[in-house]
Structure 1
Amino acid sequence: MPLSITHPIFIRETLTGIIFCLLIYGVVFAFPLLGVFVLLFLPLPVLFYRLKLGRNSGLLIAAVSFFILVLMTKGVAFDTLYFGLLLATGMVLGECLERHISIQKTMGLTTLMAAGVIIAALMVYTISQGRTLSVIMTDYMNQSLSIAKQLSPEIGMDPDMTQKLISSMMIVMPAMFMVSFMTTLWMNILLIRKLLTRKGIMIKSIEHLNLYKAPEMLVWAVIGCATALMIPLGPVKIVGINCLIVLMLVYFFQGIAVVSFFFQQKNTPMALKGFCYFLIAVQVYVLILVIGLGFFDNWIDFRKLSASRK
């Protein structure tokens, strides 16, 4: 039975969750380079206390943390909206996991929620600013590059190179956002599973993540996106390349699930697993190999093949 919001334990634990969120803010603002990685875990305090204490605790942590963020930044901007989205993500994940919704549906529903919120927020923001979205995004990316140059003065780019980089990034910006968001989702699901396992709590929908498999219909989406790249129409190509990048991430998740499955089957030492995961993270060719492994798993079914051999 959920605790009352006036219960001392509820108050103490909820305040702890808010403090964790504020610590993440502090790292992000004080150490921007490190903050890029720390920000991945912003949904975790909301998610953890949502599952531990109930919906009221999660809502309080998300709402109070966002309110403090607005006070800190003295307004609402892109970064503020994204932080708020991550806080809301913790709540949505908590709702899905409590209802034992499958991992595929959890990822899909949360991603669609995020896309809808971002589109609506951008529409409101552009109207309030009286500028087009492309102008706002270009200004934002110019500011981001300026900050990057200040943090790393050795980075030198002439104005033409900078504009080309911004133009290229504008094309794949939707896909980059979705990749970042979906990676954040996956990382928080992995972490909450670890935390719950240590407390002896098992959630069936995330108990066997190394059996994850993307919906089979996505294969046709990959084929369609690859075909769109060959059509000599700019908007069609832009949609195709953005969708293809997101789909590659989905198959990366499936590929890494296959790798994790074989590590578990072979009782691979932790040091060797860590080295292999590091290699996947830093070597592009190994990363592509894992994506291919996930894609062709739809036909070959490596995990079933291994089980049948045993």
Structure 2
Amino acid sequence: MNLSFFQNSFLRLLLTITLFLAASLLPFAGLVFLLFLPLVLYVLCFLADPGKTLIAFLASLCVVTILLWALNASASAPALAAAGFAGMLMFWTVQKRFSVEGVVLLPSLLLVGAIALYFIYGGMQLSITPWQLVEKRIQEAVELNIRLYSQFPLNAEEIQEITNSKPQMISLFTMIFPALCVIAAVFTIWINLLAAGRLLKGRGILPAPLSALSEWSAPAWLVWIFIAAGGMSAVPMAPVRFSGVNLFLVASFIYFLQGLAIVSFFFQHRNISPFFRFLAYFLIAIQQMLMIAIAAVGLFNLWVDFRKYLRKDRTTD
């Protein structure tokens, strides 16, 4: 990519961001563009002047918001704003040399805050509580998925079994909704950072805090939260169990990320080809048991230190 494309033309920068914002509004495919909107703003801040990038984003956001308002579809604008500002915040934390945890946590909190504001404002609009709106949205999503499953070539008994399990599914996803929001936000920022790192590395840009993500480890004290949350999940009192389940899921996800970092470290030290790396990550993404195994690797790394043994094997070779 020619850097002058961004450095010499504010209009081109404006056009690039506007087109990406517009693409984020497409049905179905737009979700992919929205998820990687932080990456676009983050990378553009490196390739162009950060101040110009911010101005171009604000101008593009205003244009798109006005068009959405004219079409009576302005509800999508806050999502665009949150994703874009998350990318700008990623750049700011990297420039300020925050730790990996800070670079991931602050933009993730911004996304979680945006989700919370959506349900607070939406609940006020419908004269219901935010939590009732959460239940309403989850019920709509479950019913939509049941209708989709009913179109698959399944026998009547299987379809009826799925339909009968609707109350349990709604109850389950409502209970773990806070954890799902946190996990989705953190994973979005993590993936954007990884993808942006590859793009920037090819242009000789390697932000210092992110130069060794494969070396990252979760804080040692997290294991106590993990254990306490597991115990709380078994308590029959609803508020305690609710908190325990959500904390347990978030802690497990953090260990999953640490496990992925260890897998990445192994790939780098063994010079595994990109094709086999992609295949391995794809299998991890679709196989639940592999996800659990990777999270277990992340957890037991607290005592085993797998990377230490990988370094020894590399030295021996």
Give the TM-score band, short-chain normalised: 0.7 to 0.9
Query: Matched residues in 2 for 1:145 and 1:202: separation?
Result: 43
Q: Does structure 1 residue 295 correspond to structure 2 residue 299?
A: yes
How does 1:169-188 map onto structure 2 within 5 Å?
Answer: 169-188=173-192
Distance in 1, matches of 2:118 and 2:24, equals 23
Displacement after TM superposition at 1:117 (Å):
3.9
34, 41, 44: which one pairs with 1:39?
A: 34
Gaps of 5+ in 1: 1-6
Which of 72, 75, 80 is residue 74 of structure 1 equivalent to? Answer: 72
Supply the AA of the counterpart residue of 2:120.
Answer: M
- Contact in 1 for aligned 2:21/2:64 (Cα 8 Å): no
SS at 1:244's partner residue?
A: helix
Task: Work out whether 1:65 is the aligned partner of 2:65.
Answer: no
CA deviation map 1:173-214 (0-9, x unaligned)? 111111111111111101111111111111111111111111
Deviations 1:41-60 (A, max 9, x none): 12222222223321341353
| Paired residue total | 298
Structure 1 residues 44, 256: closer, same or farther in 2, change over 3 A? same
Task: Summarize the Cα distance change of 1:74–1:123 in structure 2 as closer, same or farther, 3 Å threshold.
Answer: same
The answer to whether the aligner puts 1:86 opposite 2:77 as a matched pair is: no
The 1:39–1:221 alpha-carbon spacing in structure 2 relative to 1, beyond 3 Å, is same
User: Which AA in structure 2 matches 1:302?
Assistant: F
Q: 2:103 aligns with which of 106, 122, 125?
A: 106
1:283 aligns to what? 287
- 1:281 Cα offset (Å): 1.2
Q: Is the 8 A contact 2:23 2:33 kept in 1?
A: no
Write out per-residue CA displacement over residues 100-143 of structure 1, whole angstroms, 9 at most, x where no aligned residue. 21211211222233333433443343234321223322332343
Q: Decide whether the 8 Å contact of 2:142 with 2:169 is kept in 1.
A: no
> Does 147-156 or 279-288 show the bigger shift?
147-156
Matches within 5 A, 1:221-300: 221-300=225-304
Report whether the alignment pairs 1:168 with 2:167: no
Kindly provide the amino acid, as one letter, of the partner of residue 54 in structure 2: G
Residue pair 2:256, 2:294 contacting (<8 A) in 1 also:
yes
Change (3 A) 1:215 1:160: same
Note if contact 1:175-1:246 (Cα within 8 Å) is conserved in structure 2. yes
Across the aligned residues of Structure 1 and Structure 2, the Cα RMSD in angstroms comes to 2.5
Q: Does the 8 Å contact 1:21/1:65 carry over to 2?
A: yes
On the 8 A contact 2:79/2:114 being kept in 1, the answer is no
Closer, same or farther: CA 66–135 of 1 in aligned 2, 3 Å = farther
Any residues of structure 2 matched to 1:114-129 within 5 Å, and which?
A: 114-129=111-126
2:46 is aligned with 1:48: no
The Cα offsets for residues 243-296 of structure 1, whole Å up to 9 and x where unpaired, read as 111111111111011111111111112222222212211111111111011111
> Does the residue aligned with 1:25 lie in a helix, a strand or coil?
coil
Q: Report the identity percentage.
A: 25
The amino acid that maps onto 2:13 is E
Structure 2 CA distance for partners of 1:246 and 1:187, relative to 1, 3 Å: same
Aligned match of 2:130 in 129, 133, 147?
133
Question: Does the CA-based 8 Å contact 2:120-2:129 persist in structure 1?
Answer: no
* Greater than 6 Å deviation, 4+ residue runs: none
Structure 1 residues 149-228: aligned runs within 5 Å: 153-154=150-151, 156=159, 160-228=164-232
Give SS of 1:16's match. helix
